[in-house]
Structure 1
Amino acid sequence: MPDAHCRQMSDKSSSSTTGLLVRFRHDQRGVTALLWAGTFTGFLMAAAVAVDYGLAVAESQREQLALDAATLAGSAQISSPEHETKVVATVEAFYTANRSAVGGSTLKSTSYDADKGEIEATAGTALKTKLLKIKDYGQKTIDISTRSKVVRGTGTVEIAMVLDNSGSMGGSSGSVNGTYIEDLKVAAKNLSSAMFTGAEGTDRVKVGLVPFAASVNIGPENRGASWIDKSGQSSIHFQNFSENRSRFSLFDDMNVAWKGCVETRPGGLDTSDEPAVPGVPESLFVPMFAPDEPDDSNASAAGQPSYPNNYISDFGGNCPAGEQVCTRFNRKRNSCTAYAPAPISVAEAQSRTCKYLSATPTEDTGPNSGCTTAPVLPLNSTKQDVLDAISAMGASGNTNIGEGVMWGLRVLSPGEPFAEGREPGQGDNRKFMIVMTDGENFLSSTSNHNRSVYAAHGYASSGRLGTTYTQAGYGEALNAKLTAACGAAKQQGITIFTVAFRLESNPTTQTLLKGCATTQDQFFTAGDGDALLQSFQNIGRQISQLRIAE
């Protein structure tokens, strides 16, 4: 009997799985048959559950990844002016792109809080079963439900935006904004708004702004600061002048306000965040004062071309009258009808301080020549203050990227001249710098005795940019200082993002910016205003450190 029964079981094994289960269930021929049927049915049931629910777990993981990606993408649009239409549309687009091939997948809901910077979505899939769908089990689908919530990362953030405001940024961009500087303003404002989303009224987010061109304007309100060289302690304070009169006294002589720009510090301190200490003269920041350059008569007598920043007479103020020479002679009368001071050397003409008393500079030139940018905004936790500072930017002047980076570092560091930055290791705080430029380092050379226009390093003739007095030589020196400045910032744990704007034909500057960025992924290129906007959005997304909360 057992042998016969075993042969019957062997014969049945060749049948379909469904038929086997049915015959087992209706077999009435004894306890042995019932035991075998129960055991084998349970085994197949467990196998079916394992297979289908294993597939369900894997599908649930894919569903969750797709929903997380969709909510993260949607979160980037929360700060957009069109967030009411863009957030939900972006979530739907990303979810559909990742789940369109899966039947039964549905995005059920999307909600967000623009003030808190949070977004939440739910989705579901009715997964068709493979084995459990047979008629004896009857389960045709397994329902999968997922939920994703994206919130801001914890901790605090400090950001310095170091933005090119040189003259080339004033060019027509062909965009709705009109010019490249206006494209930049839109990108910077959008990023700032995104950073402050959910953080206004707190100090969780602080943003500073460093507009740069040939120099950086640290603000005229800092004239009396302890870190400013007010009286002439630094060795460079009296460069270009024959008398030891402070630069602020010369501004006062003309009744002209100092606009706020400073020269770079000498002795390697131009690429150092070494604190400015009153007892250490070279550490102090010297106010920029663009000297009145020689009159045309003195330049001509010396065989020099006209000087670009000639804004008052070399013989004005309380300068001594000096020798007079005839400049117009009447032959009929055999007499001189006009006299003028005898020419003096261009060096003497430029270095005189007597000429500034009660002098009135021309409108387009003067002692603030070379100081073309809006002032630095120190780290600030009020969004409107940041937006207003961005609005005040304008395009004018040469380009000194390294000087911008150094003031970005000084804005972020905790010590003076700007002390709003948190100390290293203070809580969960992160520091970021965004460096954007549309051109190479550039200082205009001249063919006169100054060798260049006046800028943050003074005149090139001072030797602070080396002794290769060519346009290329100045560029190489400024490039080296940019690299040193980026290194100084990264040594302090600052994450640097760089954006090369319209620099497709300038591989040298692109390489410099790529090396300045903390990682390759933090270097961006942008060929037009739209790409610039996208680059800033991508940077903002990285800084926000959005995280999946649920």
Structure 2
Amino acid sequence: MRQFPSLIRRFGRDERGAFAAIFGLMAIVLVALGGAVVDYVSLQQMRNRGQIALDAAALALQPEIFKNPIDVGDIKKRAQDLMLDRLAGEHGVVAGLVEPTVDVVNGTLTLEAEMTVPTVFVALVGVHEMNARITSQATRKKLALEVMMVLDNSGSMDKENRMDYLQLAAKCATNTLFYSEVIDDPANSNSCVKAPAATKVEEVKMGVVPFTMFVNVGPGNATQSWIDKLGNSPVSAHNFDIDDDDSTEFVGPLNRLELFNNLANERWRGCVEARPHTKSDPLDPNRYLDTDDTPATSADPKTLYVPMFSPDLPYGYGGQSYISDEPAACKATGTCVVVTTENSCSYKYGNCSSTNTTRTLTGKNTGSNPTCTCNNTPSTNESTSSNNWGTRYNRTRTWTCSVQYDPQGLSVVEKLERVCKYSGASFSSGFSKGPNADCTREAILPLTNDPASVINKITAMQAEGGTNIHEGAAWGFRALSPGEPFAEGSEYEEATNKVLIIMTDGENTAYNLPHTGWQTNYCDPKITDLTGSCYYSAYGWPRNDSLSVPRLGPMGTANSNLVNQMNERTSQTCENAKARGIVVYTIGLSTDAVSQSSPTVVQTMLRNCASSPDRAHLPTSPSQLKSVFARIANELAALRLSQ
């Protein structure tokens, strides 16, 4: 035991085997350092596999960004599932996606993921996992192009040769989009034509919506399913009645196409009225039947489009009084007149006498062709003979009856609404007179890949009538929609750029105007007192507005408020189109000279209507239209060429 302390001291001084101990400790570090290379290579391998998986997910899911609405959460989940599927079997490898980044305008989907890979060797020194961040971006701009040009054809477009400049500019834009190269038109520097060696570009469609106070969908579409062919829409019965009694409400049905067909000298030109301003989506503040593309179906008659029929006003109510208030065809009101003729002849003296007796039976006979029963009085001849002081007489009595029509007693409303007056009616009409009054002459040209059709439609446009930007925008939107009423548009989620170009030379206009100055001729107070407006519009008259069928009104609404409602509906239509992924351009010519709104109101509406501030153009001179349309067309051509 006495040697034990010395052994301890000797052990403490003994340096033999120290290197081995130190080497043992260093071996762990050396192995970890050497193994780090292996772990790093493994990380890179997993990173590469993860990158391949993320690239595949980005390429597969990029078309999803063109859907409306975009479901970013679904894109993230599907990308996550694709990555995990590619990395299946790799023990301990974790990959988590961050929120995807979407750029619809540039067609870009960006995916990022954080990868975690377990280590083997560097775990010996406490590093149990290694991380890597990977990114993948897929870009494919929409390859096809669909453009609807909504072009103002109102009467003010005749000022300063605005229509001429518009036609030249729109034709140039058409050539720019349809052909690979254009040159200035040698005949007119305000337009351009295809270059001699130019080729037609595929995957481009264009259409035109000429608009005034109305939009013309084309009389050839009278048999389409989206037209109210049976008169079941609640709008169809407005301003019509069949019983000459304005105390009873007529709710239809009233087939306006049949009403046109019963006229002697005029048929439906093709204009339709706005659908009721009824919510089509209770959760969306912009979705109304007259501001969106809700499909028309006979199951819901208020979704159908009603042929416009501008009613005949009573006699003395301006130029839109085009049919007699009490024509012969109106047999619904009359007085039954009974005439009795009695002939008495004396055989002895050879003389005859005739006596007429007239009596009337008052009251109304209803029906389209009522008959007078003469109170059941016989209408056959009656012969009698008698002896009077030896003289023989023969008496013949003839009963006849007829209906005489008394034009008195009809109220102004009854004279306005009676349907019978249109039966077989022949009258003088024109652009602003008759049942087609103020109907835009040129019908919609649906999307087509034929540039000549577009050019011809633009050439045919005329400047007439008032301005309803809302209706023009709504039909441009519907013509780009993939469903009826015009089904030429592709599906929204396909790789197609849908573009709406709205051009107007000013503002929405209404006509409940004061009876002053030059307006005296068409804005008689008795017209506005009866209808609420000087002119019949796509919303009918303010008198047609009701809680059950909201139009534009109600009765007594000031002109400024009518215009405000039209502006609001224009904005709602633009928002609905943009929500579908449609790119909206607006062109407001001479908006600094508007009269029914302020320049600020109109310009703000057009700027907000556009998809972005740089897509709103406010030229002050018609000569600037070529450069504006050229800029838009060149932007779209560049977009078309992007891959």
Q: Could you tell me which residue of structure 2 aligns to residue 235 of structure 1?
A: 234
Counterpart in 1 of 2:582? 494
Task: Pick one of 520, 528, 532 that aligns with 1:451.
Answer: 532
**Aligned partner (choices 288, 293, 300) of residue 280 of structure 1:** 300
How much has 1:487 moved relative to structure 2? 0.6
For 2:168, the equivalent position in structure 1 comes to: 186
**Aligned-partner SS, 1:160:** strand
Specify which of 465, 475, 492 is matched with residue 397 of structure 1.
465
Partner of 1:362: 428
Contact 2:293 2:478 in 1 (8 A): yes
Match of 1:246 in 2: 255
1:87 equivalent in structure 2 = none
Matches within 5 A, 1:302-321: 306-320=317-331
Distance 1:549 1:367 in 2: 49
1:159 aligns with 2:147: yes
Corresponding position of 2:342: none
Alignment of structure 1 residues 133-532 onto 2, 5 Å: 155-171=143-159, 173=160, 179-198=161-180, 203-243=202-242, 244=252, 245-255=254-264, 256-266=266-276, 267=278, 268-296=288-316, 306-320=317-331, 341-342=407-408, 344-364=410-430, 365-426=433-494, 428-445=495-512, 446=523, 447=525, 448=527, 449-452=530-533, 453-463=535-545, 464-467=551-554, 469-505=557-593, 506-532=599-625
* Cα root mean square deviation, aligned: 2.2
Q: 1:221 to 1:399 in 2, by over 3 A?
A: same
Separation (CA, whole Å) in 1 of partners of 2:240 and 2:468: 25
Tell me: CA distance 1:200–1:459, structure 2 relative to 1, closer, same or farther (3 Å). farther
CA, structure 1 residues 474+154, in 2 after alignment: closer, same or farther (shift >3 Å)? closer
Give the superposition deviation at 1:321.
Answer: 8.1
* Unmatched tracts of structure 1, length 5 or more: 1-152, 174-178, 297-305, 325-338
Q: Is the 1:200–1:383 Cα contact (8 Å) retained in structure 2?
A: no
Q: CA deviation at 1:429?
A: 1.1
C-alpha distance 344-429 of structure 1, shift in aligned 2 (>3 A): same
SS in 2 for 1:509: helix
**Helix, strand or coil: the match of 2:327?**
coil
Distance 1:423 1:313 in 2: 51
Q: For residue 372 of structure 1, report the CA deviation from its aligned partner.
A: 2.5
In the superposition, relative to structure 1, how do residues 497 and 359 fare at CA in structure 2: closer, same or farther (>3 Å)? Answer: same
Distance 1:386 1:371 in 2: 21
- Local SS of the residue matching 1:269: coil
Work out whether residues 162 and 433 of structure 1, in 8 Å CA contact, stay in contact via their aligned partners in 2: yes
Q: CA deviation at 1:279?
A: 1.5
Once residues 199 and 293 of structure 2 are traced to their aligned partners in structure 1, the CA distance between those partners, rounded to angstroms, is: 30
SS of match in other structure, 1:238: coil
Q: What CA deviation, in whole Å up to 9, does each residue of 1:247-297 have, x standing for no partner?
A: 11110111421000001111230012100112211111010001111112x
Offset of residue 343 of structure 1: 5.7
Preserved contact between residue 214 and residue 438 of structure 2 (Cα < 8 Å): yes
Distance 2:419 2:641 in 1: 65
AA partner of residue 465 (structure 1): L
Aligned to 1:142: none
Tell me, in whole angstroms, the C-alpha distance in 1 between the residues paired with 2:624 and 2:565.
30
| Structure 1 residues 317 and 262: alpha-carbon distance in aligned structure 2, compared to 1, 3 A threshold | farther
The answer to whether the 8 A contact 2:210-2:440 is kept is no
Three-state SS of the structure 1 residue aligned to 2:572 is helix
How many residues get paired? 368
| TM-score of the superposed pair, with normalisation by structure 2 | 0.55
Asked if the contact 2:144–2:640 (Cα under 8 Å) also holds between the matched residues in 1, the reply is no
Aligned partner letter, 1:476: N
Q: Is the contact between residue 226 and residue 484 of structure 2 (CA under 8 Å) also seen in structure 1? A: yes
Q: Distance in 1 between matches of 2:162 and 2:217?
A: 24
1-structure distance, mates of 2:167, 2:223 = 31
Q: Deviation per CA, 1:125-149: give whole Å up to 9, x if none.
A: xxxxxxxxxxxxxxxxxxxxxxxxx
* 2:284 counterpart residue number: none
Q: Tell me, yes or no, if the aligned pair for 1:373 and 1:395 is still in contact at 8 Å.
A: no
| Paired letter, 1:388 | N
Aligned pair in 2 of structure 1 residues 200, 309: CA closer, same or farther (>3 Å)?
farther
Q: Which moved more, 1:540-549 or 1:233-242?
A: 540-549
Distance 1:206 1:292, change over 3 A: same
Amino acid at match of 2:617: F
For residue 442 of structure 1, report the CA deviation from its aligned partner. 0.4
Distance, in Å, in 2 between the alignment partners of 1:288 and 1:345 is 24
Separation in 1 of the partners of 2:224 and 2:200? 29
Assess, with a 3 A threshold, how the Cα gap between structure 1 residues 373 and 474 changes in structure 2: closer, same or farther. Answer: farther
Deviation per CA, 1:353-410: give whole Å up to 9, x if none.
Answer: 1111111121221110131341000001000000001011111111110111110001
TM-score w.r.t. the length of structure 1 is 0.64
Identical-residue share of aligned pairs (%): 39
Residue type at the aligned position of 2:290: D
Give, in angstroms, the shift of residue 492 of structure 1: 0.5
Secondary structure at 2:618 match in 1: strand
> Residues 156-196 of structure 1: CA distance to partner in whole angstroms, max 9, x if unpaired?
1000001111111112x1xxxxx211111011100001110
Q: Which whole-Å CA distance do the structure 2 matches of 1:456 and 1:496 have between them?
A: 23
- Give the residue type in structure 2 aligned to 1:288: M
User: What letter matches 1:257 in structure 2?
Assistant: R
Task: Output the CA distance in 2 between the equivalents of 1:202 and 1:533.
Answer: 21
Residues 290-343 of structure 1: CA deviation (Å, up to 9, x unaligned): 1111112xxxxxxxxx2331111011151138579xxxxxxxxxxxxxx98326
**Aligned residue in 1 for 2:106:** none
Q: How far, CA to CA, are the matches of 1:549 and 1:382 in structure 2?
A: 23
| Cα distance in structure 2, aligned partners of 1:549 and 1:475 | 41
Query: Is contact 1:169–1:181 with CA below 8 Å preserved after alignment?
Result: yes
Shift of 1:200: 6.5
Q: Which structure 2 residues correspond to residues 96-111 of structure 1 after superposition, within 5 A? A: none
Q: Which of structures 1 and 2 has the bigger CA Rg?
A: 2
The answer on whether the counterparts of 2:292 and 2:478 sit within 8 Å (CA) in structure 1 is no
Q: Secondary structure at the match of 1:433?
A: strand
Secondary structure, counterpart of 1:291 in structure 2: coil
Match of 2:205, SS state, is: strand
Corresponding residue SS for 1:544? helix
Give the Cα–Cα distance (whole angstroms) in 2 for the partners of residues 270 and 282 of structure 1. 10
1: CA distance, partners of 2:201 / 2:168: 24
How far has the Cα of 1:542 moved from its partner? 1.0
Give runs of ≥4 in structure 1 deviating > 4 Å: 199-203, 321-324, 546-550
Aligned equivalents of 1:226, 1:415: Cα separation in 2:
12
**Kept after mapping to 2: 8 A contact 1:313/1:355:** yes
Deviations 1:192-219 (A, max 9, x none): 0111003966651100100111110000
